[in-house]
A and B are shown apart, each in its own frame.
Chain A
Amino acid sequence: MTLLLDRVTFRYRRWSRPVLSRLSYEVPGQGLTILLGPNGAGKSTTMALLAGTVAPTAGKVLLSGSSLASTRREYRRHVAWLPQKVPSSRQLTAREYVAYVAWLKGENRSDAWERAGTALEQVGLGEQQGDKTARLSGGQLRRVGIACALAHEARVILLDEPTAGLDPHQRTVFRDVLRQVTAKTPVLMSTHDISDLADEAETVTLMDGGRVLHHGGTRSFLDHARPDAAPARRAESAYSVLMGLDGSSGA
């Protein structure tokens, strides 16, 4: 299954400057892809376009060759999106919340309920199934968001800055969950935090100003690092070189 943006232009207002201009981008069909870039690079807009929550001003969003406009229902069923801020609910427990999202994605009620239980077990929240989501911590709420994606068997999962605001322990737990998920389903994760570029990412896309500066394997990204960079800081060095922050001309 391929998910791609085909020469997409996007403006938030009709006369405003385009956030993305004729951007073409294909989400890799396996493993974890990290969409990297500074604040305002266009990552969240790209994610929202891929999730189908906003429509492009020009160009197409395609899933396996079919445009979003023509197969909206199928598209939304197969693409899961975890927004930057997962909303909590005082009315629903974690299991009801996941089941509700699965129901919204087209599952029938009994299937949604069964899958919600399984998905919560998968993300390590089996014991919190009966807790109201408003009582869960930020990290647990993100994992509930992942469970929502698992519950309706999405074919592509989009995570918009899922590690923002998490403490180091919650990040580690989140990465463990992510490692399990990416083994089965391709995941595109946007972030501006270079430390998210852990060993598990297979592809790195670097964006700035609505343009893709680099798209390729993690190794090819790290090859841009300065030769004198310490091994633990190669990702930061490569990022600086490609962004032109170290005095070089950039990508």
Chain B
Amino acid sequence: MIWWLRQRGALGLLPGALLAFALSVVLTLHVVLVFPAFLGDYSMATQLSNFLCLIPSIALVVCLERRMPSVERSAVRRLDARDVVLVTGFALLATGVAATMALFGPDELWTAARNNLLFCGFALGAWPLLGHRATLLPAFWMAQAMFLGGRARNDPYPWVIVTEEPGVVPAAAGAAAVFLAGVLSLICSACSARSACFLRFLRFLRFLRSARSACFASRTVR
């Protein structure tokens, strides 16, 4: 177990990323960046801390990229479930740390917690498809939110989420939904890696399809 944790960076990379996230968010709380708008007449202003929420999502992808598939695929002990628990736990821990700080500090820390959840969801969802490039998706989302996401000054479109105010419930719900979708995507990819299980599922689907077409054919004959 300890070797698996070390290989994934759970003793170095992830705690370091968590510390860097917490410290940098606190230290840059009131630093505001202004971006030009490509759509609409208003430039977008946002806090630098919103960008620092990318740190945990990048750490998650680096952690998942440390898998050694050619060695681990032929193993007796399967690591897929452990990996899902590790990265999901880390994302929730980072969110929890930001939320806890928000209880004792300014409300902007709630935004950091929410955005961290959103970015981790994007990274986890994209990783099975994009591999190490999965870090690009949250970064892309942040960039497009800056350049395309504002319909007026301090009035982002609802789907942007990242630049919404801390207390906006739909934004929090959206971030949670993206995170859940990301975790589900990761679980599905882990299931498909267990090829025998996946093949059985495919055979079951094929059986259902053939049963349905047989049923349809018998009705047509009648």
Residues of A within 8 A of B (CB): 51-55, 69, 72-73, 76-77, 79, 81, 83, 85-87, 89, 91-92, 96, 99-101, 103-106, 109, 148
Alpha-carbon distance between A96 and B3 when the two chains are bound, in angstroms: 7
Q: B residues within 8 A CB of A148?
A: 71
Q: B residues within 8 A CB of A53?
A: 70, 73-74
Alpha-carbon distance between A212 and B73 when the two chains are bound, in angstroms: 27
9-residue interface stretch from B4-12, B123-131, B132-140: B4-12
Interface contact B68-A89, CB-CB below 8 Å: yes
Q: A residues within 8 A CB of B9?
A: 91
Alpha-carbon distance between A102 and B47 when the two chains are bound, in angstroms: 48
Please classify how large the interface on chain B is, using the bins under 10, 10 to 19, 20 to 34, 35 or more: 20 to 34
Alpha-carbon distance between A221 and B79 when the two chains are bound, in angstroms: 43
Interface contact B1-A109, CB-CB below 8 Å: yes
- In this assembly, does B155 line the interface, its C-beta being within 8 Å of a C-beta of chain A? no
Of chain B, the residue at the smallest CB distance from A105 is B76
Interface contact B71-A87, CB-CB below 8 Å: yes
Known: A54-B195, A55-B195, A103-B3. A91 touches B77 (CB 8 A): no
Alpha-carbon distance between A72 and B76 when the two chains are bound, in angstroms: 8
Alpha-carbon distance between A77 and B77 when the two chains are bound, in angstroms: 10
Q: Mark B168-200, 1 if CB is under 8 A from A, else 0.
A: 000000000000000000000000000110010
- In this assembly, does B66 line the interface, its C-beta being within 8 Å of a C-beta of chain A? yes
Q: B residues within 8 A CB of A109?
A: 1-2
Of chain B, the residue at the smallest CB distance from A99 is B3
Known: A69-B196, A87-B68, A91-B9. A104 touches B76 (CB 8 A): yes
- In this assembly, does B72 line the interface, its C-beta being within 8 Å of a C-beta of chain A? yes
Interface contact B195-A106, CB-CB below 8 Å: no
- In this assembly, does B75 line the interface, its C-beta being within 8 Å of a C-beta of chain A? yes
Other than the known A89-B68, A96-B3, A103-B1, what 18 A-B pairs have Cβ atoms closer than 8 Å? A53-B73, A55-B199, A69-B196, A72-B196, A73-B76, A77-B76, A85-B70, A89-B7, A91-B6, A91-B7, A100-B7, A103-B77, A104-B71, A105-B77, A106-B77, A109-B1, A109-B2, A148-B71
